[in-house]
Structure 1
Amino acid sequence: MKLPLGTGTIDLDLPECDVTVAEPSGAEPVDVREAATTALSDPHGPPLSERVEPADDVAIVVTDLTRAVPDDLLLEAFLEELAGCGVGREQVTVVVGLGLHRPMTDDELEIMLGPHADLAVNHDPTAVVEVGTVDGCPVEIGEPVAAADTVLSTGVVEPHQYAGFSGGAKTVVVGAGSESLIRYTHGPEVLSREGVRLGRIDDNPFRNILDRAGDLAGVDVCLNLTHGPDGVLGVSAGDHRPVVSELADVARDALSVSVPPTDEYDAVVTGVGAPKDANLYQATRAATYVALGDRNPLGEDGRLVVPAALPEGVGDGTGERRFYDRLRTASDADALYREMLEGYEPGAQRAFVVARVLREHEVTVTNSAAPGLVEECLMRAEPTVADAVSAGSNVLVVPDALNTLLVDADGDGA
């Protein structure tokens, strides 16, 4: 079989192993542009025409290149709808929601947004305006967003380690926010709360904080999609909470794979592919999504194997550098985990969850352009998947680990 690696694939052949493949049932893909127009015409809550005035300055916050979202098509749908409301293109600023990721280059913006790249500015997390507080934490939003009369956002509702599912208000309050909310939500106090887990939005404290912050930021209309191995599965628009809820249901139905409680594996091979395997920070999601999801299929001493190209090494953003510094200076995973329970800077939370996994399971990254860097970060590096898996192993292959929800056969992971 084939596994994703960068924008291509690699052949996986483990003839001496007992191999099981976890592939979600999926669903029929939709035409993104058509579905976006339909969603905007029948949104959750009032239509855009009742939320915007012809003289309004409009900010549209979009995702960055770490998210596989056709932002050009969603942006095009928004611009068409705004034009019908009397809002001209010159009144629109497109803000790239970077969070703590590196700024996008002009060439990358051109590829991502096509003819609308001239409207885009990279979010600056140091130039923000406070719009209120959640649990005593300041909610700060980038100046172009805070100054806008109407705030719109794109996004993808996909499985998320902490929020349950991403999307909704997250694009604005994290992507176009400051370190304050990221530091609070991604700190050990919040991440250790009951209900903060992959695939859960109901009674999830992390998700609840994002939603309340979104109310303060004045997110007027979200235009989000969800996707699976076969493409985009649905598009929804309107108020951010029901948009996430609707698309999470679509994703959960399409992406869940039941694992019987009696099944335990010696190794799980987790496919990632572009854009998430561009750097180690993002690629490690494959390992943590499996080990810290609803159903960890690994037995004692089980190993996680992540084929990842890593053309950007660890990554160039602030969060990526903090992740790297924490891992490369740690003596071992257990010591790092206990140290980080006392707190850490935003971005380093990925090192915290990786350390949590490494306390129980070895993680091996294969096929990468940066094996030395992988070894620096408490993980193993091997040339190929076959080199990372012992002969005779019982192996579970998850070809699309970031779009697969492993759930207990007795539950749905919600």
Structure 2
Amino acid sequence: MHTFSLPFGKEKIKFELPEEQVAGVLVSHAHEYKAPKSEAELVADALANPIGSPKLSELAKGKKNCVIISSDHTRPVPSHIIMPQLLAELRKGNPDIDITILIATGMHRATTKEELIAKYGKEIAEHEKFVIHVSRNDEDMVSVGTLPSGGDCRINKVAANADLLISEGFIEPHFFAGMSGGRKSVLPGIASKVTVLANHCSEFINSPNARTGILQGNPIHEDMLYAAKAAKLAFICNVVIDADKKVIAAFAGDREKAHYAGVDFEMKLAGVKPVPADIVITTNGGYPLDQNIYQSVKGMTAAEATCKEGGVIIDVSSCSDGHGGEDFYNNLKNAESIQKAMDEILARGRNETVFDQWEAQILMRMLLKFTIIMVTEAPQQMVEDMHMKYAASIDDALAMAKDVLAKKGITDPKITVIPDGVSVIVK
């Protein structure tokens, strides 16, 4: 028997499969990579040796204020390690600099005080100045140009008015931006809803280049690069993490050069070849990435890349916060026909995008090809409203999957397992 342990919220779910049923196991090499130094030392080294940029302490000199864009509660960025060093570097170069930490919520809900403490530690959470970005607050935004897509590039005025704008984040495969990190802290991180909607239009999401691991020719990435430049993002500190959310590499410096260096490192570790199977079991990497169904679509796309058409994707995600977006949920719930709903989304122009349609579009893309079963803490009715099937356990999901396939004449299905669906690039 082959024993698996899958991340599920803050816990693990174990199950077994007969060896003869396992077609393959797709795992990022990041999970076996041994970092040469401690997490704090890796970040310190990156800051001491910035790529294509002066040191942060040099950039801080002569500046009245600095805004640090920081990822929100949905991202496993180890801010408790990165942020103290960023603050120390800034104050080393300029003890009097006024620092604001701008939480890049993108289109997510606001981060709570408890989540700030968990992310940064009590000292920083209670003594530093924080601003929570709210993309729907038009009065908080200012235009800084026009995106290549034609959309108005509007960002949080706190960032736009900064003498020095920097960001922290992490680099992982992303299901339509290609890779996370770098420029993504600005768009969608601190962008207006108007800008995000233009960038996440159905035309761009439908592009074959808007896929995991692809940057070249990716229209979503190109918009994001423009936004970061227009915002005058001067310096980034991005890390790569393993399955335990531990830092294994760090890259600091120029917003593009440092990011691309990190992307190259991650691409070498994350790339795996598909192992086609009738059933693919995937996850969203556990907490905090599997807090809701919205986020869990990412892990499903890894399964999409290796599941045989007409097969079954089993997504193991806690989703303790439920669907993660009312608009996303309603897009699916109100769809009498997935094909008809998809046609309606694809017919919308770049400036006609509605909230969360991109996530619905990607989930619908998969639902048109596969049966999706969720092993989750989300309510069964919610899952079924979204045209997926609900299972209380992996064994139940496998029984349901085999029943679905048996009706198609597949009686001995093979299974591919992806223990961390957001950490791999299946290509």
Match of 1:158 among 162, 172, 195: 172
Corresponding residue number in structure 1 for 2:15:
12
Does residue 243 (structure 1) correspond to residue 279 (structure 2)? The answer is no
Corresponding residue number in structure 2 for 1:270:
282
Corresponding residue number in structure 2 for 1:283:
296
Does residue 397 (structure 1) correspond to residue 417 (structure 2)? The answer is yes
Corresponding residue number in structure 2 for 1:74:
82
Per-residue Cα deviation, 1:113-167 (whole angstroms, up to 9, x for no partner): 1111132221122111111112332111112111211001011111011111011
Deviation at residue 95 of structure 1 after TM alignment: 0.6
Cα pair 1:54 1:87 within 8 Å, conserved: no
Q: TM-score scaled by structure 1?
A: 0.91
Cα pair 2:60 2:94 within 8 Å, conserved: no
Say if 1:194 and 1:301 are closer, same or farther in 2 by CA, change over 3 A.
closer
Cα pair 1:265 1:394 within 8 Å, conserved: yes
Letter in 2 for 1:405: I
Corresponding residue number in structure 2 for 1:304:
313
Deviation at residue 307 of structure 1 after TM alignment: 1.1
Structure 1 segment 87-236 matched on structure 2, within 5 A: 87-88=95-96, 91-114=98-121, 115-118=123-126, 119-125=129-135, 126=137, 127-135=140-148, 136-229=150-243, 231-236=246-251
CA distance in 2, matches of 1:24, 1:283: 18
| Secondary structure class of the residue paired with 2:29 | coil
Does residue 60 (structure 1) correspond to residue 74 (structure 2)? The answer is no
Q: Structure 1 vs Structure 2: percent identity of aligned residues?
A: 28
Cα pair 1:60 1:92 within 8 Å, conserved: yes
CA distance in 2, matches of 1:133, 1:107: 37
Corresponding residue number in structure 1 for 2:408:
none
Cα pair 2:283 2:300 within 8 Å, conserved: no
CA distance in 2, matches of 1:63, 1:166: 11
Deviation at residue 359 of structure 1 after TM alignment: 0.4
Cα pair 1:44 1:243 within 8 Å, conserved: yes
Q: Which moved more, 1:170-179 or 1:350-359?
A: 170-179
CA distance in 2, matches of 1:290, 1:168: 26
Letter in 1 for 2:222: N
CA distance in 1, matches of 2:46, 2:219: 28
CA distance in 1, matches of 2:108, 2:70: 14
Letter in 2 for 1:340: I
Cα pair 1:266 1:299 within 8 Å, conserved: yes
Give the paired residue count: 395
Deviation at residue 256 of structure 1 after TM alignment: 1.7
Corresponding residue number in structure 1 for 2:268:
253
Q: CA RMSD in A?
A: 1.7
Deviation at residue 21 of structure 1 after TM alignment: 1.7
CA distance in 2, matches of 1:169, 1:23: 27
Cα pair 1:233 1:250 within 8 Å, conserved: no
CA distance in 2, matches of 1:25, 1:137: 38
Q: TM-score scaled by structure 2?
A: 0.88
Deviation at residue 45 of structure 1 after TM alignment: 2.1
Deviation at residue 17 of structure 1 after TM alignment: 6.3
Per-residue Cα deviation, 1:145-192 (whole angstroms, up to 9, x for no partner): 112110010111110111110110211231111112211111112222
Cα pair 2:312 2:370 within 8 Å, conserved: yes
Cα pair 2:175 2:212 within 8 Å, conserved: yes
Corresponding residue number in structure 1 for 2:26:
22
CA distance in 2, matches of 1:228, 1:73: 15
CA distance in 1, matches of 2:289, 2:223: 25
| Secondary structure class of the residue paired with 2:235 | strand
Letter in 2 for 1:35: L
| Secondary structure class of the residue paired with 1:130 | strand
Deviation at residue 194 of structure 1 after TM alignment: 4.3
Per-residue Cα deviation, 1:242-291 (whole angstroms, up to 9, x for no partner): 222111111111122223xxx53111000221112111111121112331
Letter in 1 for 2:248: L
Deviation at residue 333 of structure 1 after TM alignment: 1.9
| Secondary structure class of the residue paired with 2:323 | coil
Structure 1 segment 378-389 matched on structure 2, within 5 A: 378-389=387-398
Cα pair 1:310 1:370 within 8 Å, conserved: no
Say if 1:74 and 1:88 are closer, same or farther in 2 by CA, change over 3 A.
farther
CA distance in 1, matches of 2:201, 2:312: 27
